[in-house]
Amino acid sequence: MAKPPKEALLEQERFELRQKSGGGLLSYEAWGYQEGGKTVVTRYNLAYINHSMCHVDNGRVLGFDNAHDYHHRHYMGEVTAVEFVSYEATLETFQQEWLAIVKGKRGKRP
């Protein structure tokens, strides 16, 4: 019987955004393994955190992860299940959504 591949941290990055870029923090984490020259992502956590925009869910304005045995999206304290196609597709959706949130915030004056 073949041993399952050993999972390792593939990516862990954090970016602090300047106020003129919307402020807050972007966090990317992915775990997985290499198999046949391909990267297989087994776990991931993508988050846009901005405590001035969101006071619940530890300041997580937007996030995608597959903790708790299902793929889901966090938005301003609400959690909803999402259909999973691939990690790459989820990452692209996350990028588009947080950019749209920041662009919308920049157009508004407090």
**In the chain, where are the structural domains located?**
8-106
pLDDT of residue 1: 67
Q: What is the pTM of this model?
A: 0.87
Nearest to 75 by CA among 96, 91, 95, 54: 54
- The tens digit of pLDDT for each residue in 44-91 reads 999 999 999 999 999 999 999 999 999 999 999 999 999 999 999 999
pLDDT surpassing 70 at residue 108: no
Query: Dihedrals φ, ψ of 89, to 5°?
Result: -65, -40
